Amino acid sequence: MKQTMYDCYRSWIEIDLKALQHNIIELISLLDDPQQLMAVVKADAYGHGAVQISQKLNQMGISSFAVATLSEAIELRENNITGDILILGYTDAKQAKLIHQYQLIQTVVDYEHALALEQEQIDIQVHIAVDSGMHRLGLTLAQIQKIKTIYSFQYLHIQGIFSHLCVSDEKTLASQKYTQYQINNFFEIIKELKRDKLDVGKVHIQSSYGLLNYSTLHCDFVRVGIMMYGVYSSKQDQNNNKISLNPVLSLKSKIIHIHHIQKNETIGYGRTYQSDKKRKIAIVPIGYADGIPRDLSNYGYVIVHSQKVPIIGRICMDQLTIDISDIDGVNEGDIVTIIGQDGMANQDVETIAEMSHTISNEILSQLGSRLPRIIKGGQLCKEGIINHINQK
């Protein structure tokens, strides 16, 4: 087997920080002020590696982050990420000490949550969630008196108030109307609070699609996730946009075994693939435990030597099989691109999502924790891993 610099990894994620920088510049071009960008790095930055991504963002001057959970927030602080870190989801009030200690900002998800946090008698910063029509988290316009009460709490220091749009990605008239209804609901609450001379703090309602499709809203923050990673949730959204995005993540593996099967032989669990003639097949060490959707069995494809080749048989937990009969000169050790560019061939995550009946967000955030995240152009192997392999 030819030695390559990837020898120490079975499969890996490659992160292109230049693409990240490009996307940030594009997104900021839609804002009045770069500081309005709140980087959503929940779920390990949608599978990209939250610490590496946030460190790069900090270097670029981004100082507002959002995560889903307390432990995600603490991970960032423990890795010296500076600036505001907003926890978008629920945190048990019993954890108030940690919220305080790590200087985090907690979302108040409803009135009972606010009461529980206040009863801890620990000073913490919070943003109030408003339910403007998604019916997930937050207080509603009908609860305006309760919202006002929260502003009078002694231990909750309210730094902001926000809501979330549920159809801002859809361009039908009904969805546009519903989004406008949500926006009106939200700003009605803001108006009511201001009428009482309350300092509402930072106001925000848009995520990626809210920014793209409702860019004239001019809030204090936009919470950008998926588009920062250079990806649209769905394939159809790739066209006709006012900004250009470059995907940050590639997913690669390598061929570890090549062999032939004869006519009428079957492959893998369930014997779902039967060959119509003698075929050359290759085994790739990546499977559904790494986040490859099992729906792509006998359906998806990968790129080898800049050519698309089909996945055949059922995808296993840790491996999959491809048909390389049509390409000459493929060797064990050759690189397989599952997401990303190889020569002229490209496989985008939107296509994989479409073929698996889901959105890019799910594909990316499911990429397994056992895949190393490598910075493109950076150090590819840790010394220890190379040594370990050489000793064998």
Ligand X SMILES: *Cc1c(COP(=O)(O)O)cnc(C)c1O
What spatial distance separates the first Cα and last Cα of the chain, rounded to whole Å? 15
Between 107 and 253, CB nearer to ligand X:
107
Of the listed pieces 117-125, 220-228, 284-292, 350-358, which binds ligand X according to CB under 6 A?
220-228
Between 68 and 283, CB nearer to ligand X:
68
Of the listed pieces 201-209, 258-266, 282-290, 302-310, which binds ligand X according to CB under 6 A?
201-209
Two tokens, residue 29: 């071009």
Q: Is 230 an interacting residue with respect to ligand X (CB under 6 A)? A: no
Q: Which of 9, 42, 46, 178 is catalytic?
A: 42
Q: Which of 94, 194, 242, 269 is catalytic?
A: 269
Mapping DSSP to helix (H, G, I), strand (E, B) and coil, where does residue 385 land? helix
C-alpha–C-alpha distance, residues 361 and 166, integer Å:
15
Among 226, 292, 315, 367, indicate the residue that binds ligand X (CB under 6 A): 226
Site string for ligand X, 82-111 (x = CB under 6 A): ------x-----------------------
Q: Which distant-in-sequence residues (6+ apart) come within 8 Å of 59 by Cβ?
A: none
Of the listed pieces 8-16, 23-31, 206-214, 339-347, which binds ligand X according to CB under 6 A?
206-214
Q: Is 48 an interacting residue with respect to ligand X (CB under 6 A)? A: no
C-alpha–C-alpha distance, residues 164 and 331, integer Å:
50
Between 105 and 226, CB nearer to ligand X:
226
Confirm whether 42 is a catalytic residue: yes
Among 201, 225, 285, 287, indicate the residue that binds ligand X (CB under 6 A): 225
Q: What is the dihedral of CA 86, 90, 94, 99, to 10 degrees?
A: -10
Angle at 355 between CA 350 and CA 360, to 5 degrees: 30
Alpha helices per DSSP H over the chain:
17-28, 42-46, 50-59, 70-78, 96-101, 111-119, 144-151, 173-195, 208-213, 349-355, 360-365, 383-391
Write out the residues near ligand X by the rule CB under 6 A.
40, 42, 88, 164, 207-209, 223-226
